[in-house]
């Protein structure tokens, strides 16, 4: 398979990663790179329907069920969108991927981490990002950025988001080669420079 590059952007809600992924996409395109900007959950097609359930369903959702819905979206995304783009040699920029399930459903909801890693592996058929950037921010600031209109996941509370943050930092400690942490309380321009430095190293 001709290989592009697979880069994932991670962090708690309100960490500013979506702004940064768009800036990086623009930067790479201006350099003449072919990119695919995509996201989880809900890149397109069936994923959009799963996203609607995951973010807006207002009845009871068990943590296991929540995990499987994110994983179902991921399997579809990897097979139908990410792998074909990598095969074409594109730089795939993905807003959230496997580490979100580890941080949110594992650390946040308390599901078994080794099982989540195994299920992630099944959903992606073993595909791993070449680089993952975690945008780290304190929970108070991230909740302020999210604002009052919160979706189902964002309504999970401060304690939950402290665990999610801790989860991301532990993932980065465990896999220092793949996962890099950027302090996201800096200015948009400075954070973008740090992102570009990481990409140029690849």
Of residues 77, 83, 90, 96, which one binds ligand TYD by CB under 6 A? Answer: 96
What is each CA distance from 195 to 9, 19, 38, 79, in whole angstroms? 10, 12, 17, 27
Q: Report if residue 136 touches ligand TYD, rule: CB under 6 A.
A: no
What is each CA distance from 98 to 40, 59, 95, 126, 129, in whole angstroms? 9, 25, 11, 11, 9
Stretch that binds ligand TYD, among 77-85, 98-106, 169-177, 189-197 (CB under 6 A): 98-106
> How many C-beta atoms lie closer than 10 Å to residue 89's C-beta?
13
Q: Report if residue 154 touches ligand TYD, rule: CB under 6 A.
A: yes
User: Looking at residue 63, what DSSP letter applies?
Assistant: H
Q: Report if residue 160 touches ligand TYD, rule: CB under 6 A.
A: no
Least Cβ distance, residue 13 to ligand TYD (angstroms):
4
Least Cβ distance, residue 59 to ligand TYD (angstroms):
17
User: Looking at residue 147, what DSSP letter applies?
Assistant: -
Question: What are 187's two structure tokens?
Answer: 């200015």
Least Cβ distance, residue 55 to ligand TYD (angstroms):
6
Please report, as residue ranges, which positions from 8 to 27 form the binding site for ligand TYD (by CB under 6 A). 13, 18
Q: Report if residue 70 touches ligand TYD, rule: CB under 6 A.
A: yes
Of residues 6, 8, 24, 40, which one binds ligand TYD by CB under 6 A? Answer: 40
Cis peptide before 41 (omega within 30 of 0): yes
Ordered strands of the 131-136 beta sheet: 35-39, 91-95, 5-10, 131-136, 179-183
Least Cβ distance, residue 94 to ligand TYD (angstroms):
9
- Residues forming the site for ligand TYD (CB under 6 A): 13, 18, 40-41, 55, 70, 95-96, 100-101, 104-105, 153-154
């Amino acid at each position: 398979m001709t290989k592009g590059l697979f880069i994932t952007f991670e962090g708690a809600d309100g960490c500013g990663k979506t702004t940064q992924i768009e800036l990086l996409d623009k930067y790479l395109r201006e350099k003449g790179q072919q990119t695919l900007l995509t996201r989880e959950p809900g890149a397109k097609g069936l994923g959009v329907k799963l996203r609607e359930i995951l973010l807006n369903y207002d009845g009871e959702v068990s943590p296991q069920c929540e995990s499987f819905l994110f994983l179902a979206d991921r399997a579809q995304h990897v097979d139908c969108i990410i792998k074909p783009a990598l095969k074409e040699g594109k730089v795939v920029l993905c807003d959230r991927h496997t580490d979100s399930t580890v941080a949110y459903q594992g650390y946040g909801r308390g599901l078994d981490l080794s099982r989540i890693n195994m299920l992630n592996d099944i959903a992606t058929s073993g595909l791993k990002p070449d680089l993952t950037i975690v945008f780290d921010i304190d929970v108070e600031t991230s909740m302020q950025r999210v604002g009052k209109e919160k979706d189902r996941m964002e309504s999970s509370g401060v304690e939950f988001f402290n665990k999610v943050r801790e989860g991301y930092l532990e993932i980065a400690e465990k896999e220092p080669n793949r996962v890099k942490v950027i302090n996201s309380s800096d200015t948009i321009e400075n954070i973008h420079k740090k992102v570009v430095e990481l990409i140029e190293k690849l």
